[in-house]
Amino acid sequence: MVTKSKSKESTGIDYGQMYEFRDVRYWIYKRRRSPSSPLGKCWHTRIKLKGIKDIRVSTGKETLKTAREQAQELILECLIKQKDGQSVTSRKFHLVSEEYLDDLENNPSTIKSKFVKENRIVNQFLNTFFGKMTADSINEKVVYEYKKWRKSYWKNHDTEYTYVRDGKTIKSNRSYLKNKKVTASTLHKEDCVLRKIIEHSRLSGDIPQTKVVKVKSDPVKDNRRPSFSEDEWKKVLKESNFRCSVDRLWKNKKTKSKKNDYIHEKVLNQRILLHDFINFMVGSGLRTSEGMDVKWSDITPNNITEEVGGKFKQVKSVKIFTAKKSKKRKCDPQPYVKEILDRIKKRQFQFAKKNKFKFTGKTEYVWSNEYGVQVKDFKKSFTKLLEACDLLYDQHNDKRAIGSLRHTYGTFRKNLGEVDNHELAIQMGTSPEMILKHYVHSDDYDRSTAVTRIKKSAKKK
């Protein structure tokens, strides 16, 4: 069907003849660059679909026949997208990213910590740069510009921020970020999120199926997180015991020691809980997030058989149920972990009576403070402990973190306990390949005796 358009739009463009294809009206016309310039060579089309704004694009064709064919192909694509529930026209990046985050949050298999990290990356970096762009306008050149912008992000932004703690507004400044280089590992994680959103754009119809946007990441050096040797770990425990001493309470002050040598009872309780936590982690091998989320209901009694002095005997222990990274497993910690848990439970019953909160020892989180509130993390207090014993950095100047406790467990079990790779992988919820990669080739264990051992018959007489 062909008709003449009755009037010009408010833009002053003459849309010429109107056509119909599959009950969709469209116009084929030529444009001028300016009112005084001649008409262009290529034909343009205006397509009117129900429920959306008119689509105006160039057909890229110089003959009317081929321009109409191109417009009809575009109409078919739009109708198919509408039928499949996809976006007909490309939306702004921030709308696509919001939809992606919503899907991620409502996915039952999504780990909460993963959503928090990706949400921060999207809102702090990706939406700030790409937010107002349409998804289909993103190409490799735009991604390249983003990477340059991202590497200098903190140099061009205010590092002062405010947050609320215990009802008080606190100002803080992260000026150290100004000169801190963004690591390849950080950029790689952010690139992964960008790729996911681009793929989501393709599935939602915001990016053509044929369009390929490559987001290349620089190579990431896979560094093993530093752990502790036996001597270093003994030093950590010794310092931790000292910091947990009741003699350091202000009310027990008897000498003219330095002011910093004494602490309040609240700080002492935090340090005692930290001491139990680090022993628990090195005795269980759980991931930090797994350890922090353990509830009393996740712990069941267990008896294990140990060889002591050539004789076998039953030793009381526990099993810990955990369900992180979409996997469920039961862990067998070292027997002394039971003593730690018994000590914590006894202490919590005392706190519950003193501070008047309900504690049943069943549904509560193991790592809770003296008021029954779950502790979010021990990162800062653990860092201060390592600074106190001068072990925050290893001999290669790599910084230790709370995750170093899991690596210490793996190193001790593999090198000192001589546990089979497969069994250790099941216990730690990882693969035998990761055990070989991160724990067997550790410098924390002296292999000189093992690797130089020879048969008696081969020794020199």
Write out pLDDT tens, residues 327-355: 788 999 999 999 999 999 999 999 999 99
Mean pLDDT calculated for residue range 48-62: 81
How far apart are alpha carbons 188 and 269 in whole angstroms?
A: 39
The pLDDT of residue 460 is 47
Stretch among 154-163, 283-292, 337-346, 395-404 having the lowest mean pLDDT = 154-163
Per-residue pLDDT at 116: 92
DSSP-assigned states of every residue in 32-95 = BSSTTSPBPSS-EEEEE-TTSPPEEEE---SSHHHHHHHHHHHHHHHHHHHHTT--SSPPBHHH
| DSSP code of residue 307 | E
Domain 230-296+334-450, CATH class in plain words: mainly alpha
- Give the start-to-end residue ranges of the domains of the chain: 2-83, 93-203, 230-296+334-450
Q: What is the rounded distance in angstroms from the CA atom of residue 13 to the CA atom of residue 83?
A: 31
pLDDT digits (tens, 9 = 90+) for 395-414: 888 899 999 999 999 988 88
CA neighbor of 294 nearest in space, from 402, 346, 368, 348: 368
CA distance 30 to 28: 7
pTM, rounded to two decimals: 0.67
Give the Cα separation of 240 and 243 in Å (integer): 5
Residue 287's pLDDT band (boundaries 50, 70, 90)? very high
Q: Over the chain, what is the mean pLDDT?
A: 84
Q: Which tens digits make up the pLDDT trace of 13-25?
A: 667 788 988 888 8
The reported pLDDT for the residue numbered 256 is 57
Name the nearest CA neighbour of 379 among 351, 340, 405. Answer: 405
Rounded distance between C-alpha atoms, residue 437 and residue 209, angstroms: 39
Q: What is the pLDDT of residue 56?
A: 80
- Using CB atoms within 10 A of its CB, is residue 55 exposed (0-12), middle (13-18) or buried (19+)? middle
CA–CA separation, 147 and 191 (whole Å): 9
Structure confidence at residue 6 (pLDDT): 45
